[in-house]
Amino acid sequence: MGEGNFTKLLQKRSLLRFVQKYQPLGSGEPEEEHEECELKIIEQEKEVEVLPPKDACKCHKEDLARALHVDLQTGLSEFSVLQRRSKHGWNEFSVENTEPIWKKYLDQFKNPLILLLLASALVSVITKEYEDAASITMAVLIVVTVAFIQEYRSEKSLEELHKLVPPECNCLREGKLQHLLARELVPGDIIYLSVGDRVPADLRLIEVTDLLVDESSFTGEAEPCNKTDGVLLEAGDITTLSNVVFMGTLVRYGKGKGVVIGTGENSQFGEVFKMMQAEETPKTPLQKSMDRLGKQLTLFSFGIIGLIMLIGWLQGKRLLSMFTIGVSLAVAAIPEGLPIVVTVTLVLGVLRMAKKKVIVKKLPIVETLGCCNVICSDKTGTLTANEMTVTRLVTSDGCQAEVSGVGYNGEGNVYLLPSKEILKEFSNISIGKLVEAGCVVNNAIIRKNSVIGQPTEGALIALAMKMELADIKDIYVRKKEIPFSSEQKWMAVKCTLKNQDQEDIYFMKGAFEEVIQHCTLYNSGGISLSLTPQQKALYQQEEKRMGSSGLRVLALASGPELGKLTFLGLVGIIDPPRAGVREAVQVLFESGVSVKMITGDALETAVAIGQNIGLCNGKLKAMSGEELDQLAEAELSSTVQDVSIFFRTSPKHKLKIIKALQRAGAVVSMTGDGVNDAVALKSADIGIAMGQAGTDVSKEAANMILVDDDFSKVMNAIEEGKGIFYNIKNFVRFQLSTSISALSLITLSTVLNLPNPLNAMQILWINIIMDGPPAQSLGVEPVDRDTIKQPPRCITDTILSKSLILKIFMSALIIISGTLFVFWKENPKGGITPRTTTMTFTCFVFFDLFNALTCRSQTKLIFEIGFFRNRMFLYSVLGSFLGQLAVIYIPPLQKIFQTENLGVLDLLFLTGLASSVFVVSELVKLCEKRCCHPKHTKGCHN
- Residue 456: Cβ within 10 Å count: 24
| Separation of first and last alpha carbons in the chain | 61
Nearest Cα neighbor of 407 from 392, 390, 422, 432 is 390
Q: Return the H-helix or E-strand segment holding 209.
A: strand 202-214
Amino acid identity for residue 535 in this structure: Q
In 134-173, the DSSP E strands lie at 168-173
Q: Which long-range contacts (CB under 8 A, 24 or more apart) does 541-545 make?
A: 542/394, 542/570, 543/512, 543/570
- Residue 745: Cβ within 10 Å count: 23
Inter-CA distances, 6 with 10, 542, 815, 902, Å: 6, 70, 77, 86
Report the C-alpha gap between 443 and 195 in whole angstroms.
12
Report the C-alpha gap between 840 and 592 in whole angstroms.
48
Inter-CA distances, 435 with 370, 459, 489, 559, Å: 48, 11, 20, 15
Q: Return the H-helix or E-strand segment holding 519.
A: strand 519-524
Range 260-275 burial, b when 16+ CB lie within 10 A, else e = bbbbbbbbbbbbbbeb
Which residue in 189, 214, 378, 397 is the catalytic one?
Answer: 378
Q: How many residues does the chain have?
A: 942
Virtual torsion, Cα 553, 556, 561, 566, nearest 10 deg: -110
Sheet with 668-672, strands from edge to edge, namely 358-360, 704-706, 686-690, 668-672, 374-378, 594-598, 645-647, 622-624
Write out the DSSP string of 694-721.
--HHHHHH-SEEETT--TTHHHHHHHHH
Report the C-alpha gap between 138 and 835 in whole angstroms.
35
The answer to whether the CB of 677 falls within 8 A of the CB of 219 is no
Radius of gyration, alpha carbons of the chain: 37
Residue 490 φ then ψ, to 5°: -155, 165
CB under 8 Å to 765, separation ≥6 — which residues?
841, 845, 887, 897
Report the C-alpha gap between 668 and 374 in whole angstroms.
5
Inter-CA distances, 519 with 532, 560, 572, Å: 11, 11, 20
Inter-CA distances, 880 with 211, 553, 607, 718, 775, Å: 72, 70, 59, 34, 11
Residue 51 φ then ψ, to 5°: -105, 125
**378 in catalytic set:** yes
Angle in degrees, CA 424, 428, 431, rounded to 5: 90
Angle in degrees, CA 934, 937, 942, rounded to 5: 115
Parallel, antiparallel or unpaired: strands 704-706 and 686-690 = parallel
Report the C-alpha gap between 318 and 314 in whole angstroms.
10
Amino acid identity for residue 292 in this structure: R
Output DSSP code: residue 517.
Answer: G
3-state secondary structure of 99: coil
- Is the Cα dihedral 908, 914, 916, 918 positive or negative? negative
Q: Which residues are catalytic?
A: 378
